[in-house]
Structure formats: C-alpha cells, structure tokens
A and B are shown apart, each in its own frame.
Chain A
C-alpha cells in the first residue's frame, strides 16, 4: 500500500463515524482507532508487490460501534446497514430524499436504498420515531452493520 492510499484510508475512516477499524489482508494489516491520542497504523509488508489496481481487494473490516456515541444518544435507536453497499437517500438521482432530519418515520417506511452489485435494496425502518441524525452521506459506501440513522423513538 502506498502512503497516499493509507492517508486516504485514514481520512475515509475518520469521516465514517466509526471508532475503530481493523483491516487485514495478505499484504498488510492496518488498525485505526479514533479518539485516541495517537493513530496507530501497522503495515506489514508480507508481499511488497503492489497490485495493478490497489484498494480493490476484498478486505474484511471489523467494525465496532463508537461507545461514545452510545452514551450521548442512549435514548436513540440506530438503523444499521444490513449489507455492504452504497447508501442512497433518494429513490432516483433527481428525486427528493426518503427522509430528512426531523421527519417522523413509521415502521415499514423506506428510509434509504443500499445498492450492492447492481441490486437495489430498499431499507424499511423497524422502528417508529423521529429522525435525529443521518450518519452517512448520499452515494457513499457503507459496511455491514454500519449505523445509518439515529431515531428518537419517543
């Protein structure tokens, strides 16, 4: 992995709302922790050959939800991504968002689309409540179990 790619990866992780990310492939192992005084990255170059198309490897990402966020939002429920894919907050590129901050949602209401390998998944809310926070930018990649929305169920 090149230095720039590592930097991009760290930027991506720090913008993702995740607290800790561990990625391990045959070529490298990287561990990024947020909210700690130092960012530790360990790169183990088992194989120095850089693939023609880096970053395309399928990397298992261990995701732990931020404990800090949980304290702040103890009354709020997270809607999480049921799969790896791309998050869309509109039904089509020129349409209005499914939900905005402050909107009330009902059980079964579509809150977003996760696109994966050309297949579109409409995600329905399991809860009723008010959207407090949208944690992911439109058209950005999401991991399995990544929190997408915060809902105030009261």
Chain B
C-alpha cells in the first residue's frame, strides 16, 4: 500500500504509510503539534500497537488485514457548536464507501459506528483542534474491518465475512478518500441540510421500537432524530427525550 492516491483534489495527496504505529490519530496529532500538517494529509498503517477508540478504549485489528487511517482536514469554517456536522461528514463518507460493496445495508449507529445488521464493521474517532472559537483542524480516524476473518469480539464483522472474498485495501482506501473529500466539499459549500437528511435516513434503529438503557433504567423507545447538539432524540411513551452519548445504551 505505497501508491499515491490520485483521484482526489487534496485528501490523501500527501500520505504517510507506517508499517506499524501506536495510533494513526496520535501520529497525526503529533504532526499537528509540530505544525507540520497540511489539509488532506493522511496517515495510514498496517498495524496499530495502541489503536484508539473512545477515551481509554482501544481498537483491535490483525496485521495487514484492515484499514486504519487518519485524515487531517482544515475545518476553520466550522464553529465548535456545529461539531456534529463533522461526525456526519465522516459517517456518511464511510457508509457510502461500504454501500458500494454492500448496497444500502450498512447503517450508522449514532453517533458514528458503522453497522452491518447487528455487528460493527467500522468505527470513527474524531479529534478536533479548537482555537479562536473555530475548529481549526479535524483529525478523522477511521477503522474498517476488511479482510480479517476472525474476531475476538463477537459483535464485530468484516467485509470479507459478509462477501466471502478478500478485498484490495488500497483500492478501498482510495475510494474512501474520494468519499471523504466529496462530503467535506458538500459541508463547505453549504450542504448541511442535505448531509443531515442523508445521515438521519441511514441511522441504525431509526423509527423502530427498541430497548434502551439510561441511568440504570430500561425502557422502550424509538429513535426519531438528532438535535443540533448531537444528542439523540428518542420518543418514549411519555414524550420525546434527548440523550447524551454517555447516558445511553442500545440494548436490543
């Protein structure tokens, strides 16, 4: 995976491939702290020794099987309170990428996990750098299960598991960069409403009744939307409530 990615305007035109690294997001943020970033710069690897998930969580992946990439985007046109637009850009780009292989069966589990049926095929970790009240830089870290066949985690699945064949990771990565770039331009050119509509239309469990848990209580509810703050809007018997990521568990 050393070839240049040539089908984009800026995303991936500068690319660093590391056979192994602790975490591509970490490498990207180190480059940022040294002011060595460029818009669209990407860092990708075959193996992460300390892959990052959510704060304190890890992302595991076999060597040379999957896609682990971080993209650095200049996002000073995004205000901090509109941060969820970046979650939407990243989620939709990956959902569209996977849809090329899996039609529209891939859903986005709020806020930004990629699900095939009830299993996770990909995840996103976004880290922003805020200064002077704008999001100056955004690091979009993506982990996608491509050719790995066996997982320790029961609720993980790969493209190879679903399709029964191996995939060319470089081709997929190149396509991913194109998708991210297209969504980035859509956001920059004022396509916020269309992005939100597309995101909501692809939301996992949307408009279906499911069991959730919050603050120790189980309840039935139906996902009906997402607030501008990114909170998930669930309709319960008693009315609609908004949930923060930390206070909600998807049960069944």
| Known pairs A51-B239, A56-B214, A58-B231; A121 contacts B80 (CB<8 A) | yes
Q: A118 touching B112 by the CB < 8 A rule?
A: yes
Looking at A50, A51, A83, A86, which has the most chain B CB atoms within 10 Å of its CB?
A83
Q: B127 touching A120 by the CB < 8 A rule?
A: yes
Q: B80 touching A56 by the CB < 8 A rule?
A: no
Q: B247 touching A120 by the CB < 8 A rule?
A: no
Closest-by-CB residue of A relative to B237 is: A52
Q: B129 touching A124 by the CB < 8 A rule?
A: yes
Give the Cβ gap from B251 to chain A, nearest Cβ, in Å.
Answer: 13
Q: Would you call A15 an interface residue if the criterion is a C-beta within 8 Å of the partner chain's C-beta atoms?
A: no
Q: A51 touching B112 by the CB < 8 A rule?
A: no
Give the Cβ gap from B64 to chain A, nearest Cβ, in Å.
Answer: 27
Bound complex: CA A88 to CA B54 (Å) = 13
Q: Would you call B241 an interface residue if the criterion is a C-beta within 8 Å of the partner chain's C-beta atoms?
A: yes
Q: B135 touching A121 by the CB < 8 A rule?
A: yes
Q: A86 touching B246 by the CB < 8 A rule?
A: yes
Bound complex: CA A115 to CA B130 (Å) = 12
Q: Which residues of A contact B165 (CB under 8 A)?
A: none
Contact of A82 among B55, B127, B130 (CB under 8 A): B130
Bound complex: CA A52 to CA B235 (Å) = 11
Segment at the A interface, from B83-91, B92-100, B183-191, B200-208: B83-91
Give the Cβ gap from A117 to chain B, nearest Cβ, in Å.
Answer: 4
Give the Cβ gap from A25 to chain B, nearest Cβ, in Å.
Answer: 10
Q: Would you call A123 an interface residue if the criterion is a C-beta within 8 Å of the partner chain's C-beta atoms?
A: yes
Contact with A along B149-193 (1 / 0, CB 8 A): 000000000000000000000000000000000000000000000
Contact of A119 among B128, B132, B217, B244 (CB under 8 A): B128
Number of interface residues of A (CB under 8 A): 32
A112-131: which have CB < 8 Å to B? 114-124, 126
Q: Would you call B224 an interface residue if the criterion is a C-beta within 8 Å of the partner chain's C-beta atoms?
A: no
Closest-by-CB residue of B relative to A56 is: B241
| Known pairs A56-B243, A115-B55, A118-B54; A84 contacts B128 (CB<8 A) | no
Contact of B55 among A49, A92, A121, A123 (CB under 8 A): A92
Bound complex: CA A64 to CA B141 (Å) = 37
Bound complex: CA A105 to CA B238 (Å) = 49
Q: B219 touching A53 by the CB < 8 A rule?
A: yes
Give the Cβ gap from B163 to chain A, nearest Cβ, in Å.
Answer: 28
Having A117-B231, A124-B136, one finds 5 other A-B pairs with CB under 8 Å, namely: A51-B239, A52-B238, A82-B80, A117-B87, A117-B230
Q: Which of A's residues lie within 8 Å of B, judged by CB?
A: 26, 49-53, 55-58, 82-84, 86, 88, 92-93, 108, 110, 114-124, 126, 144
What are 28 inter-chain pairs, A to B, with CB distance below 8 A? A51-B241, A52-B217, A52-B236, A52-B238, A53-B219, A53-B243, A56-B243, A57-B241, A58-B227, A88-B55, A93-B56, A115-B55, A116-B83, A116-B230, A117-B244, A117-B245, A118-B112, A118-B125, A118-B126, A119-B84, A119-B86, A119-B87, A119-B230, A120-B127, A122-B29, A122-B130, A123-B130, A124-B131
Question: 6 shortest A-B CB distances, which residue pairs?
Answer: A82-B80, A58-B242, A117-B230, A124-B131, A51-B238, A83-B80
